[in-house]
Amino acid sequence: MTGWETKTLGELCAFQRGLTYAKSDEVDASSNVVLRANNVDLATHTLDLSELRYISNSVSVPAMKKVRRGSLLICTASGSKSHLGKIAYVDDDYGYAFGGFMGQITPASGVNGRYLFHALTSPAYKGFIEALSDGVNINNLKFDDLRQFSVPVPDLDEQRRIVAILDEAFEAIAIAKANAEKNLRNARELFASQRETMLSGVGCDWQEAPLSDLCHIRHGYAFEGEYFAPAGDHVLLTPGNFFEAGGYRNRGDKQKYFIGPIPGAYVLSEGSLLVAMTEQAAGLLGSPLLVPEPDRFVHNQRLGLVVGKPGVAWVNDFFFHAFNLVHVRNEIHASASGTKVRHTSPSKIGAVRICFPSTTAKQNEIATKLVEVFEACAQLTGVYQRKLAALDQLKRSLLHQAFSGGLP
């Protein structure tokens, strides 16, 4: 780093606060566009112009309140600390103003705007911003604080060389991430696609019937407050324990435990099949769950215990997947009512028609194959998640090298 200097941000740029205006100045359309915090993409550090705010043409917008090519747009106030201090490089003279919760950073002479942009997307900058708001409820930034951030600065030619390396590398990383994210989505969708195919009802040994002909759905117990405890041998299952795909999750501090006698009929055996009858979380109405352990869980009235009727070929593991079929979930959602909390009932769920093999042997065979498909898809998902993590780490490493003189 011979010849480099360490300077504060205040020495490297000028800062301009955004335009303030009244709520009554907002209109549906005009020639006055104002950029806000949502116009800076947190993940990519780019301008997102898909949703613009307009103010009346009667509002005079000074030139200094409009974004300029080569400057940086920074979020100085936000309801979310993760968005505080986020940066985007302004790549054109858009003629757009920037709002009061935003600021514009204009590099001084001898400072490359892209170089400063990369410095303000580095791990060091992120740590600096986090330290400013750590432990206190600060959701705004003052330039007097921002100006103290230290930036290693080489001469202008070296800045341009570093920018060229980083821009090229990050473009390649962005392409690689886009491909990995697409493959990750495909891996996650593959299992659902295979489930739809395997449970399509093709074959002479399949039947179709309403669920009410095949099973009983019984509400859980209306547990009152006296049952609740900070810890205990029994755990209350609620729709909040359900993943979208039907898996179980521990709710941490929101988990409810019990002490005292529990009505035995509501203590669940391992492999019991439950269905969510309230929309406690988005998309979970009708979601199934297989109880993961014996004699540990109980369920309340928001869940239905699904039990096959005597004489009916019924395997919980098979019907768990059947409850996750698109048409089944859609019909359960369509049967729901309520405004604050949407809910359905055993009788409404019972009206849903379903295809199923007529023998438990075939149901077990399909359930076993679906477990194998799920595990294979989970392995693929893990591969692409690790690749995305590695690409993020590579980007952080390159930024660290760039501002420590380590780039070749």
| Domain co-membership, 59 together with 132 | yes
DSSP sequence for 266-306: GBPPTT-EEEE-B-SSTT-TT-EEE--SSSSEEEBTTEEEE
Do 30 and 129 sit in the same domain of this protein?
yes
Q: Is 263's pLDDT higher than 80?
A: no
Give the range among 181-185, 353-357, 372-376 with minimum mean pLDDT.
372-376
Assess if residue 98 is contained within a domain.
Answer: yes
Q: Give, rounded to a whole angstrom, the gap between the first and last alpha carbons of the chain.
A: 12
* Residues 252 and 138 both lie in one domain: no
Is 222 found in the same domain as 127? no
Domain that holds residue 281: 206-358
Residue 117 lies in a domain: yes
Give the mean pLDDT of 29-49: 94
- With a cut of 90, say whether residue 248 has pLDDT above it: no
Rounded to two decimals, what is the model's pTM? 0.76
Is the pLDDT reported for residue 395 higher than 60?
Answer: yes
Band (pLDDT 50/70/90 cuts) for residue 340 is confident
The verdict on 351 and 257 lying in the same domain is yes
294-308 per-position pLDDT tens digit: 888 888 788 899 999
pLDDT tens sequence across 84-102: 999 999 999 999 999 999 9
**Within a domain: 389:** no
> Do the beta carbons of residue 231 and residue 197 sit within 8 Å?
no
311 falls within a domain: yes
Looking at 313, 332, 358, the residue that finishes a domain is 358
* Boundary (domain end) residue, out of 338, 358, 378: 358
Which two three-digit tokens encode residue 236?
A: 């209350």
- Examine the domain organization and report whether 109 and 231 are in the same domain: no
Inside any domain, residue 94:
yes
Closest by alpha carbon to 263, among 222, 228, 307?
222
The total number of structural domains that make up the chain = 2
* Residues 244, 117 share a domain: no
**One domain, residues 59 and 134:** yes
Both 145 and 213 in a single domain? no
Residue 392 in any domain: the answer is no
Domain boundary among 153, 186, 216: 153
Are 13 and 103 in a shared domain?
yes
Whether residue 11 is found in the same domain as residue 140: yes
Give, in order, the Cα–Cα distances in Å from 107 to each of 89, 396, 402.
Answer: 11, 23, 18
d(CA 212, CA 343): 18
Domain of residue 288, CATH code: 3.90.220.20
DSSP symbol at 352: -
Confidence of residue 260 (pLDDT cuts 50, 70, 90): low
Sign of CA dihedral 152, 155, 157, 158: negative
* 139 has a pLDDT exceeding 90: no
pLDDT given for residue 315 in this prediction = 96
Let me know if residue 162 belongs to a domain. Answer: no
For residues 76 and 101, is the Cβ–Cβ distance under 8 A? yes
- On the question of pLDDT at 244 being above 50, the answer is no
Instruction: Output b/e per residue, 315-352; b: 16+ Cβ within 10 A.
Output: bbbbbbbbbbbeebbebbeebbeeeeeebbebebbbeb
Q: In this structure, are 240 and 324 located in the same domain?
A: yes
